[in-house]
Amino acid sequence: MSKSSAQKGISRRKLLGGAALAAPAVAGLTAFGRGSDRAVAETAASNGAHAGHGEFPHATFAAGRTVDHKANGFHPTELLRDFDYGRTRRLASGRVLREWEIVAQDKEIEVAPGVKYEAWTYNGRVPGPTLRAQEGELLRIHFVNASAHPHTMHFHGFHPALMDGMPGIGENRGGGQVEPGEEFTYEFDASPFGLHLYHCHVAPLAAHIARGLYGAFIIDPKQGRPDADEMVMVMNGFDTNFDLANEVYAVNTVGFHYVDDPIRVARDELVRIYLVNVLEYDPINSFHIHGNFFEYFPTGTSLEPTEFTDTVIQGQAQRGILDLRFPYDGDYMFHAHVSEFAELGWTGFFRVGDPSKLTASAAAAMYCDLPWGKGSPA
Protein backbone atom coordinates (compact mmCIF):
# COMPACT_ATOMS: atom_id res chain seq x y z
CA MET A 1 0.00 0.00 0.00
CA SER A 2 1.39 3.31 -0.98
CA LYS A 3 0.25 6.57 0.43
CA SER A 4 0.57 9.25 -2.11
CA SER A 5 -1.16 12.17 -3.69
CA ALA A 6 -0.35 14.61 -6.37
CA GLN A 7 -0.95 17.36 -3.85
CA LYS A 8 1.78 16.29 -1.55
CA GLY A 9 4.37 16.70 -4.25
CA ILE A 10 3.58 20.32 -4.66
CA SER A 11 2.75 21.19 -1.07
CA ARG A 12 5.69 23.56 -1.01
CA ARG A 13 3.76 25.79 -3.33
CA LYS A 14 0.55 26.01 -1.48
CA LEU A 15 1.72 28.79 0.80
CA LEU A 16 -0.08 31.37 -1.19
CA GLY A 17 -3.05 29.15 -1.77
CA GLY A 18 -6.14 29.39 0.27
CA ALA A 19 -7.97 31.96 -1.75
CA ALA A 20 -9.95 29.42 -3.67
CA LEU A 21 -10.84 30.14 -7.24
CA ALA A 22 -13.39 27.42 -7.71
CA ALA A 23 -17.09 27.83 -8.12
CA PRO A 24 -19.12 26.33 -5.27
CA ALA A 25 -19.44 22.61 -5.47
CA VAL A 26 -22.89 21.46 -6.40
CA ALA A 27 -24.13 18.56 -4.40
CA GLY A 28 -26.62 16.80 -6.58
CA LEU A 29 -29.16 15.64 -4.08
CA THR A 30 -32.11 15.52 -6.42
CA ALA A 31 -32.63 13.38 -9.48
CA PHE A 32 -33.66 10.14 -7.86
CA GLY A 33 -34.35 7.18 -10.07
CA ARG A 34 -37.90 6.04 -10.73
CA GLY A 35 -39.30 2.87 -12.12
CA SER A 36 -38.89 -0.81 -11.52
CA ASP A 37 -35.80 -2.53 -10.20
CA ARG A 38 -34.92 -3.80 -13.62
CA ALA A 39 -35.25 -0.44 -15.36
CA VAL A 40 -33.06 1.14 -12.74
CA ALA A 41 -30.47 -1.60 -13.04
CA GLU A 42 -30.35 -1.04 -16.78
CA THR A 43 -29.96 2.68 -16.30
CA ALA A 44 -27.12 2.13 -13.91
CA ALA A 45 -25.41 -0.24 -16.30
CA SER A 46 -25.74 2.05 -19.29
CA ASN A 47 -24.54 5.12 -17.48
CA GLY A 48 -20.97 4.14 -18.19
CA ALA A 49 -18.38 6.70 -17.29
CA HIS A 50 -20.99 9.14 -16.16
CA ALA A 51 -22.83 6.88 -13.77
CA GLY A 52 -24.04 8.76 -10.78
CA HIS A 53 -22.88 12.20 -11.79
CA GLY A 54 -24.75 14.64 -9.66
CA GLU A 55 -26.50 11.83 -7.85
CA PHE A 56 -25.65 10.98 -4.30
CA PRO A 57 -28.84 10.13 -2.43
CA HIS A 58 -26.84 8.14 0.12
CA ALA A 59 -23.51 6.38 0.35
CA THR A 60 -23.40 3.22 -1.69
CA PHE A 61 -21.12 0.86 -3.52
CA ALA A 62 -20.32 1.32 -7.20
CA ALA A 63 -22.90 0.03 -9.68
CA GLY A 64 -22.52 -2.92 -11.96
CA ARG A 65 -21.31 -5.54 -9.55
CA THR A 66 -22.84 -7.58 -6.76
CA VAL A 67 -21.56 -9.97 -4.15
CA ASP A 68 -21.43 -13.63 -5.25
CA HIS A 69 -23.53 -15.13 -2.46
CA LYS A 70 -23.22 -18.62 -3.96
CA ALA A 71 -19.44 -18.50 -3.66
CA ASN A 72 -19.83 -17.12 -0.15
CA GLY A 73 -22.08 -20.06 0.68
CA PHE A 74 -24.60 -17.92 2.53
CA HIS A 75 -27.08 -15.22 1.59
CA PRO A 76 -27.75 -12.36 4.01
CA THR A 77 -31.44 -12.30 3.05
CA GLU A 78 -31.86 -15.98 3.91
CA LEU A 79 -29.53 -15.80 6.88
CA LEU A 80 -31.83 -13.15 8.36
CA ARG A 81 -34.62 -15.64 9.15
CA ASP A 82 -32.44 -18.76 9.40
CA PHE A 83 -32.68 -20.15 12.93
CA ASP A 84 -30.73 -23.31 13.64
CA TYR A 85 -32.71 -25.44 16.08
CA GLY A 86 -30.24 -28.36 15.87
CA ARG A 87 -31.66 -31.83 16.44
CA THR A 88 -33.45 -32.96 19.57
CA ARG A 89 -34.32 -36.07 21.47
CA ARG A 90 -36.00 -36.60 24.79
CA LEU A 91 -33.84 -37.94 27.58
CA ALA A 92 -35.04 -40.59 30.03
CA SER A 93 -35.64 -37.82 32.52
CA GLY A 94 -38.10 -36.27 30.10
CA ARG A 95 -35.83 -33.38 29.45
CA VAL A 96 -35.02 -32.27 25.90
CA LEU A 97 -31.46 -32.70 24.67
CA ARG A 98 -30.59 -30.33 21.79
CA GLU A 99 -27.43 -30.90 19.76
CA TRP A 100 -25.50 -29.10 17.03
CA GLU A 101 -22.40 -29.80 14.94
CA ILE A 102 -20.22 -26.74 14.50
CA VAL A 103 -17.08 -26.77 12.35
CA ALA A 104 -14.56 -23.95 12.39
CA GLN A 105 -13.10 -23.44 8.93
CA ASP A 106 -11.04 -20.80 7.11
CA LYS A 107 -12.85 -19.38 4.13
CA GLU A 108 -12.50 -16.45 1.76
CA ILE A 109 -15.72 -14.46 1.65
CA GLU A 110 -16.83 -11.38 -0.27
CA VAL A 111 -17.83 -8.66 2.21
CA ALA A 112 -18.52 -5.93 -0.34
CA PRO A 113 -18.84 -6.24 -4.11
CA GLY A 114 -15.40 -7.24 -5.35
CA VAL A 115 -13.74 -7.17 -1.92
CA LYS A 116 -12.47 -10.53 -0.68
CA TYR A 117 -11.65 -11.22 2.96
CA GLU A 118 -9.88 -14.23 4.47
CA ALA A 119 -12.48 -15.04 7.08
CA TRP A 120 -12.48 -17.60 9.85
CA THR A 121 -15.97 -19.07 10.12
CA TYR A 122 -18.29 -21.33 12.07
CA ASN A 123 -19.93 -23.68 9.54
CA GLY A 124 -18.62 -21.65 6.60
CA ARG A 125 -20.70 -18.55 7.24
CA VAL A 126 -20.38 -15.19 8.92
CA PRO A 127 -22.07 -14.69 11.27
CA GLY A 128 -22.13 -18.32 12.39
CA PRO A 129 -25.45 -20.18 12.64
CA THR A 130 -28.09 -18.64 14.91
CA LEU A 131 -28.38 -21.35 17.55
CA ARG A 132 -31.86 -21.40 19.06
CA ALA A 133 -33.05 -23.39 22.06
CA GLN A 134 -35.64 -23.21 24.78
CA GLU A 135 -35.00 -22.35 28.38
CA GLY A 136 -34.18 -25.42 30.51
CA GLU A 137 -33.07 -27.75 27.74
CA LEU A 138 -29.76 -29.58 27.85
CA LEU A 139 -27.50 -28.31 25.07
CA ARG A 140 -24.61 -30.15 23.41
CA ILE A 141 -22.46 -28.43 20.81
CA HIS A 142 -20.00 -30.74 19.04
CA PHE A 143 -17.22 -28.46 17.97
CA VAL A 144 -14.67 -29.55 15.34
CA ASN A 145 -11.74 -27.31 14.54
CA ALA A 146 -11.00 -27.71 10.81
CA SER A 147 -9.24 -24.34 10.67
CA ALA A 148 -5.49 -23.88 10.47
CA HIS A 149 -5.64 -21.94 13.75
CA PRO A 150 -6.67 -22.89 17.29
CA HIS A 151 -10.20 -21.83 18.23
CA THR A 152 -12.92 -22.25 20.84
CA MET A 153 -16.61 -21.57 21.25
CA HIS A 154 -17.24 -19.26 24.15
CA PHE A 155 -20.96 -18.94 24.96
CA HIS A 156 -22.51 -16.14 26.92
CA GLY A 157 -24.80 -17.69 29.55
CA PHE A 158 -24.62 -19.90 32.62
CA HIS A 159 -22.18 -22.82 32.39
CA PRO A 160 -19.36 -24.53 34.33
CA ALA A 161 -15.78 -23.30 33.83
CA LEU A 162 -14.85 -26.32 31.68
CA MET A 163 -17.57 -25.36 29.20
CA ASP A 164 -16.44 -21.74 28.95
CA GLY A 165 -14.38 -22.14 25.76
CA MET A 166 -11.57 -20.30 27.49
CA PRO A 167 -7.95 -21.19 26.61
CA GLY A 168 -6.01 -22.20 29.72
CA ILE A 169 -9.06 -23.66 31.46
CA GLY A 170 -9.74 -27.37 31.15
CA GLU A 171 -7.13 -28.45 28.63
CA ASN A 172 -6.30 -31.44 30.86
CA ARG A 173 -9.89 -32.60 30.41
CA GLY A 174 -9.97 -32.04 26.66
CA GLY A 175 -11.41 -28.55 26.89
CA GLY A 176 -9.91 -25.08 26.70
CA GLN A 177 -8.15 -24.22 23.48
CA VAL A 178 -9.10 -26.58 20.65
CA GLU A 179 -6.12 -27.09 18.35
CA PRO A 180 -6.48 -27.57 14.57
CA GLY A 181 -7.86 -31.05 13.86
CA GLU A 182 -9.15 -31.47 17.40
CA GLU A 183 -12.68 -31.33 18.72
CA PHE A 184 -14.62 -30.77 21.89
CA THR A 185 -18.24 -31.04 22.99
CA TYR A 186 -19.66 -28.19 25.01
CA GLU A 187 -22.53 -29.19 27.26
CA PHE A 188 -24.63 -26.93 29.48
CA ASP A 189 -28.18 -25.95 30.38
CA ALA A 190 -30.06 -23.40 28.30
CA SER A 191 -30.13 -20.54 30.78
CA PRO A 192 -31.02 -17.76 31.24
CA PHE A 193 -33.59 -17.10 28.53
CA GLY A 194 -32.79 -14.15 26.33
CA LEU A 195 -30.66 -13.16 23.39
CA HIS A 196 -27.00 -14.10 23.73
CA LEU A 197 -24.00 -14.76 21.53
CA TYR A 198 -21.04 -17.07 21.12
CA HIS A 199 -17.61 -16.33 19.78
CA CYS A 200 -14.06 -17.63 19.73
CA HIS A 201 -11.96 -16.68 22.76
CA VAL A 202 -8.46 -17.58 21.56
CA ALA A 203 -5.78 -14.89 21.75
CA PRO A 204 -5.30 -12.53 20.06
CA LEU A 205 -8.94 -12.08 20.91
CA ALA A 206 -9.67 -9.07 18.70
CA ALA A 207 -8.31 -10.83 15.63
CA HIS A 208 -10.24 -14.05 16.31
CA ILE A 209 -13.50 -12.17 16.69
CA ALA A 210 -12.91 -9.73 13.85
CA ARG A 211 -12.17 -12.58 11.45
CA GLY A 212 -15.77 -13.76 11.72
CA LEU A 213 -15.95 -16.27 14.60
CA TYR A 214 -19.23 -15.24 16.23
CA GLY A 215 -22.94 -15.91 16.08
CA ALA A 216 -26.24 -15.25 17.82
CA PHE A 217 -27.49 -17.61 20.51
CA ILE A 218 -31.19 -17.39 21.38
CA ILE A 219 -32.80 -19.05 24.40
CA ASP A 220 -36.56 -18.71 24.20
CA PRO A 221 -38.50 -18.31 27.45
CA LYS A 222 -40.62 -21.31 28.45
CA GLN A 223 -43.83 -19.40 27.84
CA GLY A 224 -42.50 -18.16 24.48
CA ARG A 225 -42.95 -14.70 22.98
CA PRO A 226 -45.86 -13.43 20.89
CA ASP A 227 -45.88 -14.69 17.29
CA ALA A 228 -43.90 -12.42 15.01
CA ASP A 229 -41.89 -12.23 11.80
CA GLU A 230 -38.54 -12.85 13.47
CA MET A 231 -35.12 -12.04 12.16
CA VAL A 232 -31.51 -11.88 13.33
CA MET A 233 -29.24 -8.94 12.77
CA VAL A 234 -25.61 -9.29 13.79
CA MET A 235 -23.88 -5.93 13.51
CA ASN A 236 -20.33 -6.55 12.33
CA GLY A 237 -17.46 -5.06 10.35
CA PHE A 238 -14.34 -6.07 8.46
CA ASP A 239 -10.82 -4.79 8.76
CA THR A 240 -9.86 -5.78 5.24
CA ASN A 241 -6.37 -4.23 5.31
CA PHE A 242 -5.59 -5.37 8.87
CA ASP A 243 -4.80 -1.92 10.22
CA LEU A 244 -7.02 -2.42 13.29
CA ALA A 245 -9.81 -0.27 11.85
CA ASN A 246 -12.78 -1.48 9.82
CA GLU A 247 -13.15 -0.66 6.14
CA VAL A 248 -16.58 -2.28 5.75
CA TYR A 249 -19.49 -2.17 8.22
CA ALA A 250 -22.66 -4.22 7.92
CA VAL A 251 -25.45 -6.15 9.51
CA ASN A 252 -24.99 -9.82 8.64
CA THR A 253 -21.64 -9.27 6.91
CA VAL A 254 -22.32 -7.86 3.44
CA GLY A 255 -22.25 -4.05 3.38
CA PHE A 256 -25.36 -2.34 1.97
CA HIS A 257 -26.91 -5.76 1.25
CA TYR A 258 -30.36 -4.75 2.47
CA VAL A 259 -30.17 -1.62 0.33
CA ASP A 260 -29.85 -3.80 -2.75
CA ASP A 261 -32.33 -6.33 -1.44
CA PRO A 262 -34.69 -4.66 1.05
CA ILE A 263 -36.14 -6.81 3.80
CA ARG A 264 -39.77 -7.54 2.85
CA VAL A 265 -42.20 -7.29 5.75
CA ALA A 266 -45.98 -7.10 5.99
CA ARG A 267 -47.74 -3.95 7.09
CA ASP A 268 -49.12 -4.05 10.67
CA GLU A 269 -47.52 -7.44 11.36
CA LEU A 270 -45.36 -7.77 14.48
CA VAL A 271 -41.68 -7.81 13.47
CA ARG A 272 -39.07 -9.01 15.97
CA ILE A 273 -35.40 -8.23 15.48
CA TYR A 274 -32.76 -10.09 17.45
CA LEU A 275 -30.02 -7.48 17.40
CA VAL A 276 -26.44 -8.38 18.44
CA ASN A 277 -23.37 -6.19 18.24
CA VAL A 278 -20.05 -8.00 17.70
CA LEU A 279 -18.23 -5.10 16.04
CA GLU A 280 -14.50 -5.15 16.80
CA TYR A 281 -12.15 -2.12 16.89
CA ASP A 282 -14.94 0.45 17.44
CA PRO A 283 -16.26 1.09 20.95
CA ILE A 284 -19.95 1.36 20.10
CA ASN A 285 -22.47 0.54 17.44
CA SER A 286 -26.10 1.52 17.08
CA PHE A 287 -29.38 0.77 15.36
CA HIS A 288 -31.87 3.35 14.17
CA ILE A 289 -35.14 2.83 12.28
CA HIS A 290 -36.85 5.39 10.07
CA GLY A 291 -40.51 6.25 10.45
CA ASN A 292 -41.07 3.92 13.34
CA PHE A 293 -40.50 3.12 17.02
CA PHE A 294 -39.83 -0.17 18.74
CA GLU A 295 -40.12 -1.79 22.16
CA TYR A 296 -36.64 -2.64 23.39
CA PHE A 297 -35.83 -5.69 25.55
CA PRO A 298 -32.14 -5.42 26.54
CA THR A 299 -30.48 -8.87 26.37
CA GLY A 300 -34.00 -10.26 26.01
CA THR A 301 -33.91 -11.43 29.62
CA SER A 302 -37.18 -9.81 30.56
CA LEU A 303 -40.57 -10.04 28.88
CA GLU A 304 -41.21 -6.39 29.71
CA PRO A 305 -39.61 -3.79 27.46
CA THR A 306 -37.54 -1.10 29.11
CA GLU A 307 -37.84 1.50 26.42
CA PHE A 308 -39.96 2.70 23.53
CA THR A 309 -37.55 4.34 21.11
CA ASP A 310 -36.19 4.49 17.57
CA THR A 311 -32.46 4.30 18.37
CA VAL A 312 -30.37 2.05 20.59
CA ILE A 313 -26.66 1.99 21.27
CA GLN A 314 -24.75 -1.23 21.91
CA GLY A 315 -21.18 -1.87 22.92
CA GLN A 316 -19.49 -5.06 21.78
CA ALA A 317 -21.42 -8.19 22.90
CA GLN A 318 -24.39 -6.09 23.98
CA ARG A 319 -27.62 -7.26 22.41
CA GLY A 320 -31.34 -6.81 22.65
CA ILE A 321 -34.70 -7.67 21.14
CA LEU A 322 -36.72 -5.12 19.16
CA ASP A 323 -40.49 -5.50 18.65
CA LEU A 324 -42.13 -3.23 16.12
CA ARG A 325 -44.93 -2.93 13.56
CA PHE A 326 -44.83 -0.87 10.38
CA PRO A 327 -48.06 1.13 10.12
CA TYR A 328 -47.44 2.41 6.58
CA ASP A 329 -46.40 0.89 3.27
CA GLY A 330 -43.15 1.95 1.69
CA ASP A 331 -39.43 1.68 2.13
CA TYR A 332 -37.90 2.53 5.50
CA MET A 333 -34.21 2.87 6.06
CA PHE A 334 -32.47 1.39 9.06
CA HIS A 335 -28.84 2.10 9.84
CA ALA A 336 -26.24 2.68 12.49
CA HIS A 337 -26.68 6.15 13.88
CA VAL A 338 -22.93 6.32 13.89
CA SER A 339 -23.07 7.97 10.48
CA GLU A 340 -19.59 6.83 9.55
CA PHE A 341 -20.62 3.16 9.91
CA ALA A 342 -23.84 3.84 8.01
CA GLU A 343 -21.95 5.30 5.08
CA LEU A 344 -19.37 2.52 5.10
CA GLY A 345 -21.97 -0.19 4.61
CA TRP A 346 -24.18 -0.46 7.70
CA THR A 347 -27.39 0.70 6.03
CA GLY A 348 -30.44 -1.19 4.82
CA PHE A 349 -34.12 -0.87 4.02
CA PHE A 350 -37.36 -2.48 5.07
CA ARG A 351 -39.89 -2.75 2.25
CA VAL A 352 -43.35 -2.71 3.82
CA GLY A 353 -46.44 -3.71 1.90
CA ASP A 354 -49.63 -5.67 1.69
CA PRO A 355 -48.61 -9.19 2.65
CA SER A 356 -50.60 -10.72 -0.21
CA LYS A 357 -48.69 -8.69 -2.79
CA LEU A 358 -45.28 -9.02 -1.29
CA THR A 359 -43.47 -10.70 -4.13
CA ALA A 360 -40.29 -8.94 -5.05
CA SER A 361 -41.49 -7.61 -8.40
CA ALA A 362 -44.88 -6.56 -7.06
CA ALA A 363 -43.27 -4.73 -4.19
CA ALA A 364 -40.85 -3.08 -6.57
CA ALA A 365 -43.65 -1.96 -8.84
CA MET A 366 -45.63 -0.62 -5.90
CA TYR A 367 -42.99 1.16 -3.93
CA CYS A 368 -40.09 1.89 -6.19
CA ASP A 369 -41.02 5.48 -6.80
CA LEU A 370 -39.29 6.28 -3.55
CA PRO A 371 -35.92 7.96 -3.64
CA TRP A 372 -33.72 5.04 -2.78
CA GLY A 373 -35.93 2.47 -4.47
CA LYS A 374 -33.36 1.56 -7.02
CA GLY A 375 -33.05 -2.12 -6.38
CA SER A 376 -29.35 -1.74 -6.91
CA PRO A 377 -27.31 1.30 -6.10
CA ALA A 378 -26.70 3.68 -8.94
Partner 1 sequence: MEAGARAERNLGTGLPAWALGLIPLLLIVGAIGSFALLGGPGLGERTGPPVEEVAVERTVLRPGEIELTLRNDGPDPVEVAQVAVNDAYAPFATEGGREIGRLGSATLNVSYPWIEGEAIEIFVLTSAGGTVEASIPVAAETPENDVSFFALMALLGIYVGVIPVSLGMLWLPFLRRLGPAWMGALIAFTVGLLAFLAIDAGLEGLELAAEAPAAFGGAALVLAGGLAAYLALAGVDAYLSERSRRAKGAGAGATSGAYLALLVAIGIGLHNLAEGLAIGSAYASGALALGAFLVVGFAIHNTTEGLAIVAPLRDDARPSLGRLLGFGLIAGAPAVLGAWIGAAAFDPSLVALLFGVGVGAIARVIVQIAPVMRDEQGRLLYPATVIGILAGMAVMYLTGLLVSV
Q: Which residues bind partner 1 (CB under 8 A)?
A: 1-29, 47-56, 59-63, 112-117, 238, 240-243, 247-248, 255-256, 340, 343-345, 377-378
Nearer to partner 1, 29 or 161 (CB): 29
Shortest distance, position 249 Cβ to partner 1, whole Å: 10
Shortest distance, position 303 Cβ to partner 1, whole Å: 39
Single-letter amino acid, residue 240: T
Q: Determine the Cα–Cα distance for residues 111 and 198; give it in Å rounded to an integer.
A: 21
Nearer to partner 1, 67 or 131 (CB): 67
Residue-wise burial string across 225-262, b where 16 or more C-beta atoms lie within 10 A, e elsewhere: beeebbbbbbbbbbbeeeeeebbbbbbbbbbbbbbbbb
Helix (H) or strand (E) holding 298, with range, is: strand 294-298
Shortest distance, position 375 Cβ to partner 1, whole Å: 14
Nearer to partner 1, 4 or 93 (CB): 4
Nearer to partner 1, 24 or 94 (CB): 24
Q: Determine the Cα–Cα distance for residues 287 and 350; give it in Å rounded to an integer.
A: 13
Q: Are 135 and 193 in contact (CB under 8 A)?
A: yes
Shortest distance, position 176 Cβ to partner 1, whole Å: 31
- Nearest to 110, CA basis, from 148, 74, 147: 74
Nearer to partner 1, 8 or 89 (CB): 8
Shortest distance, position 71 Cβ to partner 1, whole Å: 13
Shortest distance, position 56 Cβ to partner 1, whole Å: 5
Q: Determine the Cα–Cα distance for residues 264 and 256; give it in Å rounded to an integer.
A: 15
Nearer to partner 1, 100 or 346 (CB): 346
54 phi/psi in degrees, rounded to 5: 70, 10
Q: Are 165 and 154 in contact (CB under 8 A)?
A: yes
